[in-house]
Amino acid sequence: MTDNPDKTQTRKLTRRAVLAAGAAASGAAMLPMPALIGRAQAAGAKDAFKGEDLVVCTWSGVYEDAFKKAVVHPFNEQYGTRVATVGGWDQMAAQMKAAPPGQPPFDVTIIDEYTTVAALTDNLLAKTARSKVPNIEYVQPWYIETRPEYARDYGVPLGLGFLLPLINTGLVGEKPLSWTTLWDKELDGKLALDAGAFIWIVAVAAIWGAKLNIEQLYDWKPGQKSDPIFEKLEELRPAKWYRDGAELSFLMMQEQAAVAEIYSLDALGLVQNGGPDFKTGIPDDGTVAYTDWYSKVKGTQHSELSDTFLNYLLEKETQDRLLAITLTVLSRRDVTVPPHWPNYPKTNEDLVKRVKLISMEGWEKLLPNFDALDARFKEAVLKTSRN
């Protein structure tokens, strides 16, 4: 997740601004319309929501573009609605908290594990009854089982975001598609590593470098005499600590780096631009990830339409369209896997084996030490940048 250069910054966002932007983009006015109470669900009467607006917060950048194309535009065409999107990163909970009661900046929001912890702490999300989202029966059980029971009624899981190794085989040859490859001494000075969303490369250093389990990362404390996670991180000698997806793309395309950590949001475009020498995918030994859930926001005036939209996210046709234009993993067990995804995790067992989720419980343990973790990471960046 690398498009936002400052992920801690909270932008001032109003619902009116989102709708105005959507109207400008479509060339038509988009005025808020009140929800109608007690009407038939759109599944039985497709005109039930005609003309109604809905604001959905997604990850920004290429994800938002794909989401509009694969989800929002077909939904609006089918139901006659006026769904608009706004992109964000980690500031959604702060924006919801700052909004006046009953006037949330968006009706539905994407929530990973970190955002869910933050939003539930301040009671910012609204539950969705499972009877309103019948398509959830087609979701891989892993998505539900990795969610604490108290959080499972807040929305639905659309899929996964995760970290991938990217290798330019034209420069370094056929290296194994594995996180352990980062510690190959032949790659000293040829790596591109993310200096922004640091928790993911720290997790890689913990699991595949120091050979710890992810729970041992959660137990990290500052001031340890022995710190195997950062000791392994400091063995890496990158060509560059990059700050965003654009910088990473430049480094790889200009051959200033040959191997990188890349986020699934950015991966497909870079692989397509790089050609057949660029190799990526979820390694057989796994990767670190977050889930993309979508939830109603407390105070929305469009509760019924929100539930219909959440159920739409779980339709096979919806997920097939999104999968066809991204390098992501989606939640249904019967999606059509496109040719660009040769090692897609097709089964629930694949997810259990190959996905190391930084869980909600993990974030609850990490957050009290997060500032110290950030400071320790910056120390590691300085050390590895000087050598």
Segments making up each domain of the chain, as ranges: 15-160+291-349, 161-288+360-385
**Please, what are the averages of pLDDT over each run of 10 residues along the chain (387 residues)?**
38 51 42 34 68 97 95 98 93 94 95 97 97 98 97 97 95 95 96 94 97 95 91 96 90 94 89 90 94 97 98 98 95 96 93 97 96 96 81
211: Cβ contacts below 8 Å, ≥ 6 apart = none
Q: What per-residue confidence (pLDDT) applies to 17?
A: 53
The CATH H-level superfamily of 15-160+291-349 is Periplasmic binding protein-like II (3.40.190.10)
- Specify the pTM: 0.87
| CATH number given to 161-288+360-385 | 3.40.190.10
171 torsion bin: left (phi>0), alpha (psi -120 to 50), beta (else): alpha
Instruction: Label each residue of the chain as H, E or C.
Output: CCCCCCCCCCCCCCHHHHHHHHHHHHCCCCCCCCCCCCCCCCCCCCCCCCCCEEEEEEECCHHHHHHHHHHHHHHHHHHCCEEEEEEECCCHHHHHHHCCCCCCCCCEEEECHHHHHHHHHCCCEECCCHHHCHHHHHECHHHHHCCCHHHCCCCEEEEEEEEEEEEEHHHHCCCCCCHHHHHCHHHCCCEEEECCCCHHHHHHHHHHHCCCCHHHHHCCCCCCCCCHHHHHHCCCCEEEEECCHHHHHHHHHCCCCCEEEEEHHHHHHHHHHHCCCEEECCCCCCEEEEEEEEEEECCCCCHHHHHHHHHHHCCHHHHHHHHHCCCCEECECCCCCCCCCCCCCCCHHHHHHHEEECCHHHHHHHHHHHHHHHHHHHHHHHHHHCC
Q: What is the DSSP pairing of strand 278-280 with strand 156-168?
A: antiparallel
Domain 15-160+291-349 identical in fold to domain 161-288+360-385? yes
Vertex 341 angle, CA 336 and 343, to 5° = 105
Residue 337 token pair: 């896997």
Q: What per-residue confidence (pLDDT) applies to 13?
A: 53
